[in-house]
Amino acid sequence: MTTVTDTPLTTVPSADEIVGRVRDLQPMLAKNSAQGEADRRVVEESITALTDAGAFKIAQPRRYGGYETSMRTMLDVSAAVGEADGGTAWVVTLCNVCAWLTGLFPEQAQDDVWADTPDAKVSGVLSPTSEAVKVEGGFKVTGRWYYNSGSWHASWAVLGIPITNADGEVIDQGLALIPRTDLGFEETWFVAGMKSSGSNCLIATDVFVPEHRIMPVPAAIGGDYATEHTDEILYRSAFVPLLSLVLAGPQLGLGRKALELVTAKADTKAISYTFYTAQSDSVAFQLQIAEAAMLIDTAHLHAYRAADDIDAAAARGVYPDVIARSRVRADTGWVLDHITKAINILVSAHGAGSFGENNPLQRIWRDSNVAARHAVTLPAVNYEVYGKALLGRDDQITPLI
């Protein structure tokens, strides 16, 4: 097997260059969006083009040819893909964040994934919906993990497991890095939005996972990662804040695209059953456009503040405290809250034609609303987490902070 020391370092493009490459692909990604929905998986042409453009390298260590960029870049790349297609953006986002998770494992585990296959993609699910039996050198894992976004395209998966002792007692929670060839697969993703994300179920039956491919989750929540490469800034980023905020990236792109589509039609689209022959002549329409634009701007301000906080703390080698980490969850909820409100305003302002099957607005509306219901990003939950942290209460509702 190849080891990391055999792999040459990569010339890393700037964040603007990576985003520019994605923007060049937007017409093709948009063209494939309807087919992706029909197939309930991203079209391979899109995956291949994004792979060639480096869109899946942004959270992979440079030691394996990745770009090892930043939280901010992860947002911007996801948003640029989201301007063209939400489902594709979700797959890019989840594969990248799972690459980041893989970068937290010991080097031996990272070698297993990337040393021989630098383009390997990883999907993942944090929930420990499984059983794990302690055996010599590792664990035997059996379980089912739903909502594996990108499962059609990933060759590895990072999956939640309970960590047990020799008596079978659960003593911790972990993530297991498992090759896709060891996992069964069941199509379970039949949904109203984000259809092409391929968030299906992966299945393990007595799969052996060696110790070096197990990572304790509570330790990671506190910033204690297994990677030996503690000089790599990206892999010092705060665990839950990054996992939460990264899901806001596609939403930013969806919001921007909805605003662009509605404003582009405003001079030529009438408001039916009124004297307005152009929506743009209507003061009511102007107010709606302004409100939607401000909501989208607000979402960006919070997303970028949170990203900058994560990146700055990682650069300083400081792990954020509970209040700072809770605020990122609240920022994430704020982004989703405001983007979905903005898109609702925009489709109402645009009119019933928003929901024509050939109108990309209906897909944006469905994708945004489905993605906004991810459990880690729910605004009400995240505001409660932040409120309890601000008040110093000891009755938090989740360890995922």
Q: Residues with Cβ < 8 Å from 40, sequence gap 6 or more?
A: 187, 189, 190, 195, 196, 198
**284-300 tens-digit pLDDT:** 999 999 999 999 999 99
Q: Tell me what the pLDDT averaged over the chain comes to.
A: 96
Given 87, 115, 143, which residue is the final one in a domain?
Answer: 115
Task: Indicate which CATH number applies to the domain containing 267.
Answer: 1.20.140.10
- Rounded to whole angstroms, the Cα distance separating 95 from 146 reads 15
- Rounded to whole angstroms, the Cα distance separating 44 from 149 reads 15
Asked whether residue 383 is assigned to any structural domain, the reply reads yes
Asked whether residue 356 is assigned to any structural domain, the reply reads yes
73 and 150 together in one domain: no
Contact predicate 339/300, CB 8 Å: no
Average pLDDT over every residue of 306-314: 98
**329-373 tens-digit pLDDT:** 999 999 999 999 999 999 999 999 999 999 999 999 999 999 999
- Fill in the amino acid letter for 170: V
252 and 292 together in one domain: yes
**193-215 tens-digit pLDDT:** 999 999 999 999 999 999 999 99
Task: Indicate which CATH number applies to the domain containing 49.
Answer: 1.10.540.10
50 and 145 together in one domain: no
Asked whether residue 223 is assigned to any structural domain, the reply reads no
Asked whether residue 362 is assigned to any structural domain, the reply reads yes
Domain range enclosing 143: 122-216
pLDDT for the residue numbered 11: 85
Given 216, 248, 272, which residue is the final one in a domain?
Answer: 216
Q: How far is CA 17 from the centre of its chain?
A: 21
**What domain count does the chain have?**
3
312 and 387 together in one domain: yes
Smallest Cα–Cα separation from 42: which of 227, 268, 222, 194? 194
- Give φ, ψ of 294 to 5 degrees: -65, -40
Asked whether residue 132 is assigned to any structural domain, the reply reads yes
pLDDT for the residue numbered 10: 73
345 and 247 together in one domain: yes
- Fill in the amino acid letter for 240: V
pLDDT of 39 above 90? yes
Cβ neighbours around 369 below 10 Å, total: 18
**97-143 tens-digit pLDDT:** 999 999 999 999 999 999 999 999 999 999 999 999 999 999 999 99
Only one residue has tokens 């953006």, namely 89
pLDDT for the residue numbered 369: 96
Tokens of 88: 């594709």
The CA distances from residue 270 to 199, 263, 283, in Å, are 39, 13, 13
For helices 15-39 and 360-371, angle between their N-to-C axes, nearest 10 degrees: 100
Q: Residues with Cβ < 8 Å from 294, sequence gap 6 or more?
A: none
Task: Indicate which CATH number applies to the domain containing 208.
Answer: 2.40.110.10
282 and 380 together in one domain: yes
Asked whether residue 339 is assigned to any structural domain, the reply reads yes
Cβ neighbours around 284 below 10 Å, total: 12
245 and 340 together in one domain: yes
Cα dihedral sign, 313-121-151-44: positive
At 1, the pLDDT band (50, 70, 90 cuts) reads: very low
**235-268 tens-digit pLDDT:** 999 999 999 999 999 999 999 999 999 999 999 9
Tokens of 324: 């700072």
Only one residue has tokens 């520019």, namely 20
pLDDT of 66 above 60? yes
Cβ neighbours around 283 below 10 Å, total: 8
Tokens of 182: 């060891």
242 and 378 together in one domain: yes
Given 94, 115, 136, which residue is the final one in a domain?
Answer: 115
**146-187 tens-digit pLDDT:** 999 999 999 999 999 999 999 999 999 999 999 999 999 999
Percentage above 90 pLDDT, the chain: 97
Asked whether residue 262 is assigned to any structural domain, the reply reads yes
- Fill in the amino acid letter for 283: V
175 and 196 together in one domain: yes
Contact predicate 47/90, CB 8 Å: no
Asked whether residue 2 is assigned to any structural domain, the reply reads no
202 and 320 together in one domain: no
CA 363, 368, 373: angle at the middle one, nearest 5?
Answer: 135
- Give φ, ψ of 161 to 5 degrees: -140, 155
Q: How far is CA 156 from the centre of its chain?
A: 16
297 and 357 together in one domain: yes
Per-residue H/E/C for the chain: CCCHHHCCCCCCCCHHHHHHHHHHHHHHHHHHHHHHHHHCCCCHHHHHHHHHCCCCCCCCCHHHCCCCCCHHHHHHHHHHHHCCCHHHHHHHHHHHHHHHHHCCCCHHHHHHHHCCCCCCCEEEECCCCEEEEEECCEEEEEEEEEEECCCCCCCEEEEEEEEECCCCCEEEEEEEEEEHHHCEEECCCCCCCCHHHCCEEEEEEEEEEEHHHEEEHHHHHCCCCCCCCCCCHHHHCCHHHHHHHHHHHHHHHHHHHHHHHHHHHCCCCCCCCCCCCCHHHCHHHHHHHHHHHHHHHHHHHHHHHHHHHHHHHHHHCCCCCHHHHHHHHHHHHHHHHHHHHHHHHHHHHHCHHHHCCCCHHHHHHHHHHHHCCCCCCCHHHHHHHHHHHHHCCCCCCCCCC
Rg (CA), the chain: 21
268 and 364 together in one domain: yes
pLDDT of 5 above 50? no
- The overall pTM is greater than 0.85: yes
pLDDT for the residue numbered 246: 98
